[in-house]
Amino acid sequence: MSGATRRGPYSKGIARRAEILRAALDAYQTSGRQGPALKSIAASVGLTEAGVLHYFGSKDELLVAILEARDREHAGSYDLGTMDGIWALLADTTRTPGLVKLFVDMTAASADPGHPAHAFFQRRTRHIAGLLERHLGPGREWQARVLLAAAEGLQIQWLRDPSTDIVADLKRLQAALL
């Protein structure tokens, strides 16, 4: 079998996976607090649920891939090199309650070292804490951890009570920590 013959299905599989991921991210961005059903994501790309999972291995792996895609989009859309960029990103999350709910659910699931979200959240926590440490200044690692923990906790509170002002509360906490 020639290299060109083997690459065709492989590149088609990569493209199909990207199409499914885009559809799933779009569905979560436009859904309510409960998020879309896997069946509706599958239908939007002309597959069955099993067909979607074929490209991701499991529903949890798909959900983690959605969060990874969301983070890549955020990195390209917000200046995370500034606190204003971080505040803008956090303020914008309230426009996508389905993604916030997915984030909260996967955060809880990541406590299990065997869960697909575990490694993702370990990497993400190191990355975000590192960004915050650079903004807060040297020797402020624990303040960065507390600010990150508060951001995650405030998202849970916001899901229960949409009047929660995540950014205003975090700015007050930042001022108190410094």
pTM of structure: 0.88
Give residue 104's Cα distance to chain centre: 9
pLDDT of 70-94, one tens digit each? 999 999 999 988 999 999 999 998 8
How far, in Å, CA of 63 to CA of 58, rounded? 9
pLDDT score for 32: 86
Q: Where are the beta strands (DSSP E) in the chain?
A: none
Closest CA relative to residue 107, chosen from 125, 89, 90, 94: 125
pLDDT, block means (10 residues), the chain with 178 residues? 54 92 95 91 96 95 97 92 92 92 96 97 94 90 94 95 96 93
For the chain, the domain total comes to: 1
Domain range spanning residue 101? Answer: 3-177
pLDDT score for 9: 56
Residue 162 sits in a domain whose CATH number is: 1.10.357.10
pLDDT score for 168: 97
The mean predicted confidence, pLDDT, of the chain is 92
57: left (phi over 0), alpha (psi -120 to 50) or beta: left
